[in-house]
Structure formats: C-alpha cells, structure tokens
Structure 1
Amino acid sequence: MKSVLSIILTAILFTSCDFILKDHSKDEILMDPKPVVLGTDKDEKGCVTSAGYVWSETKNGCIRIFEEGFRLTPYHSPADTIDVDGEQATLNAYVIFNEEKSIAELFLPDSKKSILLKQDNDESLYVKDDWKLEAKKGYVLKKGSQIEYVSAVAIEKKITGSDTGE
C-alpha cells in the first residue's frame, strides 16, 4: 500500500515539475491575445462615442465632457428625469471654457452639437441667441428668461445621533 501511494506522489511531483519547468512561450494560452479594439464607432470628427468622447470646438479635439466639464443639473428636476431600468436618471448638461475664459462651450443632453456662448461685456455672462450662462457663484443657464440648468451642488449630509446605540 505504501509503495502504491509513493508511486502516485512521485508521478504528481514529476508532472508538476514538468509543467513548471516547461517553456510556455509558445503556448497560445499564455501568449498575448489579439488586441481588442474598443469603440469602433467613430463620429464624423473621429471621436469614439461609445467610449463617451465628443468633439469639443474649444479644445479642438475629442474629450469626455463628464471628466473635463462642469456639470449642470436641470432646474426643473421632475420633468427632466427619465426612467432607466426602474430608476430615475437625470439628464445633465455640461459646460467647458477655453483657456482665456472668453468662450463657454455648452453640451446639452438632447443635442448632438455643442453651443458656443461668447463672453458678454459683463465678464460673468456668456450669450448666444436665447441662451445665457451666468457665472456668478456657480452657474445658471437660461433659455430666454427661463432657468433651465444650474450648477451641480454637492449635498452636505449631516449625521446626527450617536454610535453608542443609546
């Protein structure tokens, strides 16, 4: 019985040593796989939209507006929410500025192209047609006289009570 057990253990030892010491560089499993091409859906400017990139006129390139822009939330939140898989989702707008802060580029959720707002005589106001972006202590975006979007504001939660379980 001991000899059978020792033969089995010796066979396992040699098998594992053979696997460890073997040159695996030619194995298909361990070789680098073919590169995966993500986001082959490019728009007319060459931006990969499925990866979240859009063309920015002020940056003159493809950007992710949610990484580089300032988020503006709808002012009338109940009307501007949609149902996604049973949960409410808010459609935000984003704004980015050129280096001189003379142009504000506006990205609206229902628009394929951005809107370029130019700085007015008042340095905190950007205007184009009916759109007005006020940049005083946050951002307020108006269409005509109606407020459409405001700066995204962090909600400060205050914890009250005690952790002693009283």
Structure 2
Amino acid sequence: MKKMLFLLMIPVSLVSCRDLGGSSDNAGIEKDSLAKVVGIDKDENGCVTSAGYKWSILKKACIRPFEDGIRLNPATEIKAGDPVISAFAVLEEDGNKAELFLPNYKSSVIMERKSEGKPYIKDEWQLLTDKGFTLKKGDSIMYAGAMINEEVITGSDNPED
C-alpha cells in the first residue's frame, strides 16, 4: 500500500511543480501587459518621461525640470482649486545661456544673454533676472519666480520641537 501511495504522489508532485522553474508567462501576467508598465517609456534621448524626466540641452542629461530648475508660476490670477501649470528655467553655470521648459512645448527653448545682468532672450521671450525671475513674451509678463514657503519638519506635532 505504501508503494502504491508513493507511486501516485510522483505524478501529482510533478504536475503541481511545473511552474516553479521560472516560466515565461511571468506568474500569470500576459506578455502584452508587460509593455505597459509605467516607467519603461523612454523618449529619443533615453529619458523616462512618465517619471518627469526631460532632455536638457544645457546639461546634456535627462533632468527633472521641477527639481533642477527654477519654478516660474503663471502671472495671471489663479483662483482657489485651479491647477497651476508652471514653466521652469535652468541656467547654465558660469555662462550666458538659459533653458526654458514651457507648458505645451515639446522641446525646451534655449535663451542667451549678452552679459551678466542682461536678460536672457530668444525670439519673443525674455527672462529677466533682476529682482527675482520674470518671464515675458513680448511686453506681457507670462510667468514669475515662485515664492516657496518651506517649513521645518520636526516629526512632532509640537512646533517648538
């Protein structure tokens, strides 16, 4: 009886363990759905756009403009609850170039200035750097440097900690 039970267990164990060897179906995930995983999309420069990366011509690398750039918020009045769609400026270190990342623009805009203290200019765009940052299109102020109110996080509900 023990031999017969043992012989019956061999085929059962072989059938139940067939997927333990790392099958190609990735534990029940369809192959087509693997191509839709967030974070594997890359643009022509290798930047993962779903993670907020964009190619910077000045830095010659994939950057996140909201981390590496200067936030410029719309100069128009924003009502409570409205989304704020910002532009970002990345300045060349020790240089006379600036790179603008504008909403609804597929690629960045490279601006140049003649010397320190002068505005960065490209076509109808001007980035003024005196008294903060102001981005103008023609004579109209479109964006201005964002004011950031950073608070110290202490890990306590008591503000004196």
Q: Please confirm whether the aligned pair reaches a TM-score higher than 0.5, indicating the same fold.
A: yes
Structure 1 stretches of at least 4 aligned residues deviating more than 4 Å after TM superposition: none
Aligned to 2:13: none
The CA distance in 1 between the partners of 2:149 and 2:64, in whole Å, is: 24
| Shift in CA distance, 76/93, structure 1 to aligned 2, threshold 3 Å | same
In structure 1, stretches of 5+ residues that fail to align are 1-26, 29-33, 157-166
The CA distance in 2 between the partners of 1:154 and 1:95, in whole Å, is: 16
| Equivalences, count | 119
Shift of 1:120: 2.6
1:67 partner SS = helix
1:72 partner SS = strand
Shift of 1:54: 0.2
Q: What's the RMSD between the two structures over aligned residues?
A: 2.7
The residue type paired with residue 96 of structure 1 is V
Aligned to 2:68: 68
TM-score, structure 2 normalization = 0.65
Aligned to 2:103: 109
**Identity across aligned pairs (percent)?**
43
The CA distance in 1 between the partners of 2:107 and 2:143, in whole Å, is: 18
Instruction: Say if 1:106 and 1:114, in contact at 8 Å, map to a contact too.
Output: yes
Shift of 1:151: 0.5
Shift of 1:155: 5.5
Is 1:125 matched up with 2:125? no
The CA distance in 2 between the partners of 1:103 and 1:122, in whole Å, is: 10
Is 1:57 matched up with 2:51? no
* Higher CA-based Rg: 1
The CA distance in 1 between the partners of 2:93 and 2:149, in whole Å, is: 29
In structure 2, stretches of 5+ residues that fail to align are 1-19, 22-26, 28-33, 151-161
What are the Cα deviations for residues 84-105 of structure 1, in whole angstroms up to 9, with x where unaligned?
A: xxx4211000000112231010
Instruction: Say if 1:105 and 1:116, in contact at 8 Å, map to a contact too.
Output: yes
Is 1:41 matched up with 2:36? no
The CA distance in 1 between the partners of 2:53 and 2:121, in whole Å, is: 25
Aligned to 1:147: 141
2:82 partner SS = strand
Q: Which has the higher strand share?
A: 1
Aligned to 1:90: 84
The CA distance in 1 between the partners of 2:43 and 2:82, in whole Å, is: 29
